[in-house]
A and B are shown apart, each in its own frame.
Chain A
């Protein structure tokens, strides 16, 4: 496939908060002024060199940026490609989530908010939010689906250790989608004092745009680092997993104007772009897994972080104009991908990122000799307990 570059100016939404037909601000009236206030505050902060310096300092001295590139010599040779990882797993708290959370928490303080609310799936965004709150002296409440509280108990404990309150969401499918609902209900009631720290490129405008901007540091660094490593060339393919899609948008943003193929890998049981239709939930118009009446369907994925029936609106836009593609892999392929990276490279990926590994392994015969840059957005420590159960027969 010949990727069509999109001029970068296309990717700043206008006053209506749209990426093409997607995005917008579908929120209860109570929240409209808060979204408007946030939009103003973010634009002001983003253009303020003092804010940017403060954020850059935190990203460098606290989160550990820039994250490195690692070439996978063993797996690359095995697959017949040149495979390079962007190591977001090495950030403080173990994933890319810290990039956006530090930005949003600084912004919350700047706006005079004393408390932040967050939703979390696998717990990575919850841990990152609790971490930033501890660092910056903010109160923090994290909503997490009851199912996820169970399967990610380590992260629940981590959040509590960091001083956050964790509340299990017991409505609906009791996963990420319901955690978002509970966080929004909290926000409707506490909007004057609380800042809603959304974990992905989703929600009402300006969140998808703002979180993308905070995550764009991944793509900016990666483009430069890749060129240094590969004689000035850009990668043939950039791959990332997609749930809401913030790590993918972060790395895509650095290559959207290059002749690079952009691939967002969805879980087969939560393929919003691949199998969904346009819909409106959680404040945005985007692809959504839903029935004929618009009831949102429950996602099913081995990884809690991708267990979401929607996707960020900018991904829907990139898919609709053919700039990015969104294949899916099933849970079994993910388990194989998880083991593959561990055994060949000594790197245990988060189950979310194992989706990207799985797609690369499957696609390898078709992309022989090409350069592939994969965003390794999180480390797999949090998934080890779950995988111990799944792989118990095999590894005992």
Chain B
């Protein structure tokens, strides 16, 4: 196990504290600019989310499945831009850290420093850029570090053992364990890779390890949390926002919270 040597930022500090208290971490994902998204953030924060991931919609989201694609297209059609989303985020007064998820062209087009600073000014503390792998991340990482934006790195099931420590070294906030081979979206069962990935990572790092991609309901969240420090839930949250509005997001977050808080019945 490797102990992280960087100074933990606001997000990582918060997640480490939760972990120390024995609390599993829940991070819902909400597409920015989608009707009701600000209320969904407030509802999620009030019902047990430990941090919230806000997606900035992109025209070509290659890591996303049908639900988040649909949400992105809808938000873009309604006129959402990175600027409008970050501006509106300032009005959200919630007590949990905000993380932005965006594709790299959004960052590149704005300029690394300018984008990092605009996140900071909107009260965002961390960023996830799913198409910016370790080898391409240097420029952004420098700008993000300078602006005190924690860059969450993804660790995928395809990574050989020698790669994982290098990814973890560059990770800030938490390590995002990709739960399966595939894009975001709900699945009927938790892939075996989810727990396997969390196990591989927990063995080699003391950073918080959260599983995302394919964690589709309360039951699956609980399963993933048997090893991981927490979960990220995307498509299952966004689908509820699309279909039933912000209240259903709040209810769902409460349901998942209750499930991961309940004691583990038996070890499998």
Q: A-side interface residues toward B, CB under 8 Å?
A: 16, 24-34, 171-172, 177-178, 181, 184-185, 188-192, 278-283, 285, 288, 290, 292-296
Q: A27-B131, A31-B158 are in contact. List 10 more A-B contacts (CB 8 A).
A: A28-B131, A30-B156, A32-B156, A32-B163, A33-B158, A33-B159, A33-B160, A181-B61, A189-B183, A294-B110
* Of A28, A191, A293, A294, the contact of B62 (CB 8 Å cutoff): A28
Given A26-B131, A279-B109: A295 and B59 within 8 A (CB)?
yes
| Among B18-26, B100-108, B204-212, B255-263, the stretch in contact with A | B100-108
B60 lies within 8 A of A177 (CB): yes
| B13, CB-defined interface residue at 8 Å | no
What is the CA–CA distance of A37 and B59 in the complex, to the nearest angstrom?
29
**Inter-chain contact B181/A188, CB cutoff 8 Å:** yes
- Contact yes or no, B133 A26, CB < 8 A: yes
Q: Which residue of A lies closest to B66 (CB)?
A: A171
Partner of B63, one of A16, A188, A283: A188
- Closest residue on chain A to residue B155 by CB atoms: A29
Chain B residue nearest to A310 (CB atoms) is B60
- The closest CB in chain A to the CB of B107 belongs to A294
Would you call B133 and A294 a contact (CB within 8 A)?
no
* A191–B76 alpha-carbon span in the complex (Å): 30
Contact B136 A28 (CB under 8 A): no
Residues A29 and B156 in contact, CB atoms below 8 Å apart: yes
Partner of B182, one of A33, A188, A296: A188
A34 pairs with B158, CB closer than 8 A: yes
Query: Taking A25-B136, A28-B154, A280-B105 as contacts, is the C-beta distance between A192 and B181 under 8 angstroms?
Result: yes
Chain B residues, Cβ within 8 Å of A25: 133, 135-136
The 3 closest A-B pairs by CB, nearest first: A294-B109, A189-B182, A30-B156
- Between-chain CB contacts (< 8 Å), 14 pairs: A26-B132, A29-B156, A30-B178, A33-B158, A33-B160, A177-B60, A178-B60, A188-B181, A191-B181, A280-B104, A280-B108, A282-B62, A292-B109, A296-B105
Known A-B contacts A25-B136, A293-B82, A294-B110; A184 and B159 likewise in contact (beta carbons under 8 Å)? no
| A185 B159 Cβ-Cβ under 8 A | no
Interface residues, chain B, with chain A CB atoms under 8 Å away: 58-63, 65, 69, 73, 76, 81-83, 104-106, 108-110, 130-136, 153-160, 163, 167, 178, 181-183
What chain A residues lie within 8 Å of B182 (beta carbons)?
185, 188-189
Of B62, B83, B131, B158, the contact of A192 (CB 8 Å cutoff): B158
Contact between B160 and A190 (Cβ–Cβ < 8 Å)?
A: no
- The distance from the CB of B163 to the nearest CB of chain A, in whole angstroms, is 7
Residues of A within 8 A of B163 (CB): 32-33
Q: Which residues of B contact A290 (CB under 8 A)?
A: 105, 109
Residues in chain B near residue A288, CB distance under 8 A:
105
The answer to whether B73 touches A172, judged by C-beta atoms less than 8 angstroms apart, is: yes
Chain A residues with CB under 8 A of B132: 26
A29 touches B83 (CB 8 A): no
Taking a contact as CB atoms under 8 Å apart, the answer to whether B159 and A282 are in contact is no
CA distance A192 to B61 in the complex (A): 22
Q: Chain A: interface secondary structure?
A: mixed
- By beta carbon, the residue of chain B nearest A297 is B59
- Does B69 contact A171, Cβ atoms closer than 8 Å? yes
Q: B59–A191 contact, CB under 8 A?
A: no
Cα separation A117 to B181 with both chains bound (whole Å): 16
A189 B181 Cβ-Cβ under 8 A: yes
Q: Which residues of A contact B154 (CB under 8 A)?
A: 28-30
The CA of A181 and the CA of B69, in the complex, are separated in Å by: 11
Q: A172 and B62 in contact (CB under 8 A), knowing A25-B135, A25-B136, A191-B181?
A: no
A282 to B105, CA, bound (A): 10
How far does the alpha carbon of A253 sit from the alpha carbon of B113 in the complex, in Å?
Answer: 37
Complex CA–CA separation, A212 to B105 (angstroms): 25
CB <8 Å contact, B60 and A296: yes
Q: Considering only CB atoms, which chain A residue lies closest to B131 in the complex?
A: A26
B63, A281: Cβ atoms under 8 Å? Answer: no
* A293 cross-chain contacts in B, Cβ below 8 A: 81-83, 106, 109-110
Q: Chain B residues near A177 (CB, 8 Å)?
A: 60
Partner of B181, one of A26, A30, A296: A30
User: By the criterion CB–CB under 8 Å, are B136 and A26 in contact?
Assistant: yes
A188 and B131 contacting across the interface, CB-CB below 8 Å: no
A87 to chain B, nearest CB (A): 35
Q: Tell me the nearest residue of chain B to A205, going by C-beta.
A: B135
| Least distance between B237 CB and chain A CB atoms (Å) | 20
Chain B residue contacts of A191, Cβ below 8 A: 158, 181
Contacts of A285 in B (CB 8 A): 108
CA distance A293 to B106 in the complex (A): 6
Residues from chain B with Cβ under 8 Å of A189 in the complex: 181-183
Contacts of A294 in B (CB 8 A): 58, 82, 105-106, 108-110
For the complex, what is the distance from the CA of A283 to the CA of B104, rounded to whole Å? 10
- Within the assembled complex, what's the spacing in Å between the Cα atoms of A26 and B73? 22
Minimum CB–CB distance for A291 against chain B, Å: 9
A293 to chain B, nearest CB (A): 5
- Name B108's contact: one of A33, A279, A296 (CB within 8 Å): A279
Contacting pair A185 B183 (CB below 8 A): yes
Task: Give the residues in chain A near B63, CB-CB below 8 Å.
Answer: 28, 185, 188
Query: In whole angstroms, how far apart are the Cα atoms of A331 and B167 in the complex?
Result: 48
Residues of B within 8 A of A283 (CB): 131
Query: Cβ of A29: which chain B residues have Cβ within 8 Å of it?
Result: 130, 133-134, 153-156, 159, 167, 178
A41–B134 Cα distance when bound, in Å, is: 22
Please indicate the chain A residues that have their CB under 8 angstroms from the CB of B155 in the complex.
29
Q: Measured between alpha carbons, how far is A204 from B226 in the docked complex, in Å? A: 36
Q: What is the distance, in angstroms, from A18's C-beta to the closest C-beta of chain B?
A: 10
Whether the pair B136, A282 counts as a contact (CB closer than 8 A) is: no
Q: How far is the CA of A188 from the CA of B82 in the complex (A)?
A: 26
Residues of A within 8 A of B181 (CB): 30, 188-192
* A290: min CB distance to chain B, Å: 7
Give complex CA distance A358, B176 in Å: 51
